[in-house]
Amino acid sequence: MKILVISNLPPWAPGGAETQALKLSREWKRMGHEVVVAGQLLPDRTMEVDGATIELRHIPFINWSRPLRALSYVAGLGWFILRHHRQFDIVYCRFVREAAVVLSLLKHYLGLRFRLVACSACALHTGCAQFLLDLPLSGKIIAALDSAADAINNISAKTGEELAAIGLDDSKFTYIGNGTELPPEVRRFDSGAPLRLVCVSRLAFNKGHRTLLDALAELQRGGTAIDMTLIGDGPERAALQARTAELGLEDVVHFRGFVDNRELFPALLEYDVFVLPSDSEGFATVVIEAMACGLPVVVTRSGGPEYFVDDQVGRTCRTRNSADLAQAIRAVLQLPPGELARLGRNGRQRVREHFEISRVAERYIALFEGILGGERIGEQPVVFDDRRG
C-alpha cells in the first residue's frame, strides 16, 4: 500500500500530534508499506527513524504574514496533490483542518480520485469543529468535507460528538486513538518516600498551567507537601515563573524545560504521579506515555484523556477549576504505595491492550484496506469508565 501522510514531523515541529504522525509512519513502513510524508515545514529528503526510511516532501508556502501564509499553503498543497495524488492508495491527513479542507475541495469540486482519511485534532474551543465553523463559507466547506472524506478518524468520543453536531456523517467515523511504545522499565513506589509530581506539556495558555499553580498553592496552604516539575517550554514560561513566585511556590515548582521525545520515558520514570491540567485536548498522547511508565495520572476532562482515564488508573476533574484539580491531586497523593502501584499497573496494561503503537498502526491499515475494498466504514467509540460497571 502507498500512503501519503499530510503532516509536519519532529524535529521541525515538536508537537504531540506530529510525533504521532512520525510513529505511525515508522510502523507502516516496518509493516512493508510505502510511506511519504508531506508538510510545509519539511525538507525534500529521506529520514531514518529507528531503521525505517521515510521519504519527506516539502509543501511550499510563503511565511510572511498569516493571510499570505494561509493562501500560499493552500496553493502549495493543492498543486502538490494535483501532481501526485495518483501515486498513492490512501491520503492520510493529520487534523480536520486546513489540509483536510483543501483536499476535500479538490475532490468535491474537481473530481480528483483519491481515498481520503482525515484525523481529528483537538476538542472544545480549540477543536476541529470550531475551526470549521469559523471559516468563511463554512457550510459549503463542511458539505465538501462530508462528501469527499472516505473516513474521519476521531481520537476521542468528544471530537466525534462535535464533528457530528456540525453536520458531518457519523457513519464514516472511526475511533482509533493515539499510540505509544511500552518502555521496558516501570515506576516503583517506595514506602515513605515523598511523591514527586510531573506535568509534561507545552507552556501555552490552553494547557492549564495557571490553574495547576493555583491548585498547588491551595494544597500547600492545606498542609500537603508538594514537589512539582513542569517539563516543556513555550510562550507562557515567563508568566508562569512570575506566577510561581507570586504564589510563593519557587521552592516546590521546578521548570525543567524542553525534553526531547527520545528522552521522555527516562524523564517520566524519575517521578511518581503525572498531572495534565489542560483546558482542551484531542487525545493527549503524553498521558498514555505516562501510563506506559506505570505512573498514576490526574487529568482534566478536557475533551480527550477522560475517555481512557478513570479511577482504575488515576483521577479526572473539571477544567479551569483549581479547587477540583487540588482535590484530585490530593486524593492520589494520599494513596498508599501499594495502591499507587496498582493504578500504575492498570494504566500500563490499558496501554498494552489498546494503545500500543503497533496495534494502533495495524488498526489504521485495516481501515485503509476496508476503504480500498469498498467496505462501509464506521464504528462506535470505546470509553473506559469503571463507574459504568
Number of domains in the chain: 2
* pLDDT > 50? residue 301: yes
- Would you say residue 383 lies in a domain? no
How far apart CA 66 and CA 64 sit, in angstroms, is: 7
- Would you say residue 190 lies in a domain? no
Q: Distance from CA of residue 147 to its chain's centroid? A: 26
Radius of gyration of the chain, Cα coordinates, nearest whole angstrom: 21
> Residue 240 sits in a domain of what CATH number?
3.40.50.2000
* pLDDT > 80? residue 379: no
- Let me know whether 158 and 274 are in one domain: no
Q: Distance from CA of residue 346 to its chain's centroid? A: 21
Q: Which domain holds residue 92?
A: 2-179+356-372
- Would you say residue 384 lies in a domain? no
Looking at residue 385, what is its pLDDT? 56
How far apart CA 341 and CA 186 sit, in angstroms, is: 10
- Let me know whether 206 and 295 are in one domain: yes
Looking at residue 170, what is its pLDDT? 93
- Let me know whether 69 and 175 are in one domain: yes
Q: Which residues contact 47 (CB under 8 A, 6 or more apart)?
A: 9, 53, 54, 55, 56
In this structure, are residues 347 and 296 in contact, taking their beta carbons and an 8 Å threshold? yes
- Let me know whether 53 and 131 are in one domain: yes
**φ, ψ at 319 (rounded to 5°):** -75, 155
- Let me know whether 213 and 154 are in one domain: no
* pLDDT > 60? residue 146: yes
Burial of residue 342 (number of CB atoms within 10 Å: 0-12, 13-18, 19+): middle
Give the mean pLDDT of 12-38: 94
Q: What is the pLDDT of residues 51-75, one digit of tens each?
A: 999 999 999 988 888 788 889 999 9
Cα dihedral 177, 321, 345, 333, rounded to 10, equals: 170
Looking at residue 191, what is its pLDDT? 66
- Let me know whether 172 and 46 are in one domain: yes
Give the mean pLDDT of 25-42: 97
Residue type present at position 236: E
- Would you say residue 27 lies in a domain? yes
How far apart CA 69 and CA 348 sit, in angstroms, is: 42
Nearest to 355 by CA among 263, 266, 288, 283: 288
Q: Using alpha carbons, list the distances in angstroms from residue 111 to 93, 103, 105, 249, 301.
A: 18, 11, 9, 59, 41
Strand partners, 317: 300
Average pLDDT, the chain: 93
Provide the 8-state DSSP code for 240: H
- Would you say residue 381 lies in a domain? no
Strands 197-200 vs 34-39: parallel, antiparallel or unpaired: unpaired
Looking at residue 375, what is its pLDDT? 81
- Let me know whether 323 and 254 are in one domain: yes
Q: Distance from CA of residue 247 to its chain's centroid? A: 31
Looking at residue 124, what is its pLDDT? 80
CA atoms within a 13 Å half-sphere pointing along the CA-CB vector of 207: 23
* pLDDT > 70? residue 383: no
Looking at residue 387, what is its pLDDT? 39
- Let me know whether 11 and 45 are in one domain: yes
In this structure, are residues 12 and 105 in contact, taking their beta carbons and an 8 Å threshold? no
Q: What is the pLDDT of residues 80-138, one digit of tens each?
A: 999 999 999 999 999 999 999 999 999 999 999 999 999 998 888 788 999 999 999 99
Give the mean pLDDT of 142-170: 94
- Let me know whether 328 and 342 are in one domain: yes
* pLDDT > 70? residue 158: yes
Looking at residue 294, what is its pLDDT? 97
Q: What is the pLDDT of residues 233-274, one digit of tens each?
A: 999 999 999 999 999 999 999 999 999 888 999 999 999 999
Looking at residue 121, what is its pLDDT? 85
Residue 309, all three cell numbers:
482515564
Planar angle of CA 257, 47, 152, nearest 5 degrees: 80
Give the mean pLDDT of 323-349: 96
